[in-house]
Amino acid sequence: MQFLFKTSYRDDLRLLPKTGEKIRVGIAALFLLSAPLILHEYYLAELGLMLAYAIAGIGLMILTGFTGQVSFGHAAFLGIGAYAHTYFLSQGVPFSVSILAATMISALLGMMIGRSSSKMHGFYLAIATLAFGILIETVFGEWYAVTGGHAGIAVPALSVFGIRFSETWQHYYLDLVIMAAVVWGAANLFRSPTGRAFVAVRDSELSARCLGVNVEWVKIQAFGVSAAVTGLAGALLAHHLTYLAPETFGVLESLKLMLMIVVGGLGSILGAVFGAVFISLLPVAISFLKDVLPPAIGQTAGLEPLLFGLLIVFVIVFEPLGLYGRWMKVRFFFETFPYYRKSSFVRQKTYLKTDRLR
């Protein structure tokens, strides 16, 4: 176990204070950078898709995990980013301008939702965002001039700064660079006043307000940032899908994003990334299971949703902190070996909250 010896306030501002973290992040970065040399083209494309989902996960994590605002319609922002980007590209707008514009549009719509829902809590917010998701999906289906309606729309070929990105590895590196920037930016956000205000609103709106946090504005900001990041992910996703249809951005996709951050572990950026890995690997695992299991079970329709649901239940019951929480425990086990006990992570209730001013 490493004890940090801090000698300056700047030590607490470092993103990766521990040596172990630096090494692990270094290994992950090395793997991601050299993936095109190691992986088969098919898996490389899958990895790129996973990175796009990780960005979307971080987007939702900022809103739900850090600001405590539930959104069951987040696929709408994914769709807004994807459709806007596709539309601009097909109008001949260059990639860099188009992706920025798509992000901005998504952010503006997010801020509008944040404005109208800034006084809502819990269930009401969940229902409102769900309704928004359904509404936007309908718009995608009906607005033929821009979205191509239910027939869908083809995404123009990827070309950045006039260079055609026809190879999978070029596409992959584009995803990687943007994902790295988003992770870095999100990590920065939560070591600065804005991110702390988000967390403050999550934990106690009342005292945040009395400390000078404009709670309504923070919610608008959180929705805006979250929608921007999710919209950016949507624009990247469009290039993986190559063909957009409204159903892609429906309620099920919103649920998938929600499951991603719950399974990954609410309240951490790494959790969103873990969730994306999980969501991407699950179909692979399920298709593998299908071959192994006897055909009577393996070929049954609805095996995927069943396994999906079961896993979610298990995670919520046995590991509420998700994969990130499990990872912390495993790490703690090795760091403190052989002193880890079952109760090492059990949180004692030191006192119970009673009547809170609501």
Partner 1 sequence: MNDKRLSVRNLSIDFGGVRAVDDVSFDVEPGETFAIIGPNGAGKSTLFNLISRLYQPTGGSISYGNQDLLKLKAHQIVHAGIGRTFQNIELFDHATVLENLLVGRHALMGRNLFAHFGFLPSVRRSEVAHRQKVEDIIDLMEIAQYRDEKIADLPYGARKYVELARALCAEPSLLLLDEPASGLNNEETDDVSFWLDDIKHELGVTLLMVEHDMNLVGRVAEKVMAVSDGRLLTIGTPEEVRSNADVQRAYLGVGS
Q: Does 343 bind partner 1 (CB under 8 A)?
A: no
Residue-wise burial string across 169-189, b where 16 or more C-beta atoms lie within 10 A, e elsewhere: bebbbbbbebbeebbeebeeb
Q: Which of 3, 5, 9, 42 binds partner 1 (CB under 8 A)?
A: 9
Q: Does 336 bind partner 1 (CB under 8 A)?
A: no
Task: Mark residues 206-225: x for contact with partner 1 by CB under 8 A, - for none.
Answer: xxxxxxxxxx-----x---x
Please check whether residue 261 is in contact with residue 79, taking contact to mean a CB–CB distance below 8 angstroms: no
> How far is it, in rounded angstroms, from Cα 62 to Cα 56?
10
Q: Give the helix ranges, DSSP H, for 148-268.
A: 168-189, 193-203, 205-210, 215-241, 251-264
Chain positions 250 to 269 lying near partner 1, rule: CB under 8 A, are 267
| Interface segment toward partner 1; rule CB under 8 A; list 55-63, 195-203, 238-246, 311-319 | 195-203
Q: Which of 91, 85, 338, 125 is nearest to 222 (CA)?
A: 125
Q: Does 354 bind partner 1 (CB under 8 A)?
A: yes
Q: Does 199 bind partner 1 (CB under 8 A)?
A: yes
Nearest CB to partner 1, comparing residues 9 and 318: 9
Q: Does 52 bind partner 1 (CB under 8 A)?
A: no
Q: Give the helix ranges, DSSP H, for 242-268.
A: 251-264
Q: What is the helix (H) or strand (E) element at residue 86, kind and residue range?
A: helix 75-90
Q: DSSP class of residue 4? A: P
For the bound state, the minimum distance from the C-beta of residue 353 to partner 1, rounded and expressed in Å, comes to 7
For the bound state, the minimum distance from the C-beta of residue 262 to partner 1, rounded and expressed in Å, comes to 16
- The residues of the shown chain that bind partner 1, judged by CB under 8 A, are 9-10, 12-13, 185, 188-189, 191-197, 199-200, 202-204, 206-215, 221, 225, 267, 347, 350-351, 353-357
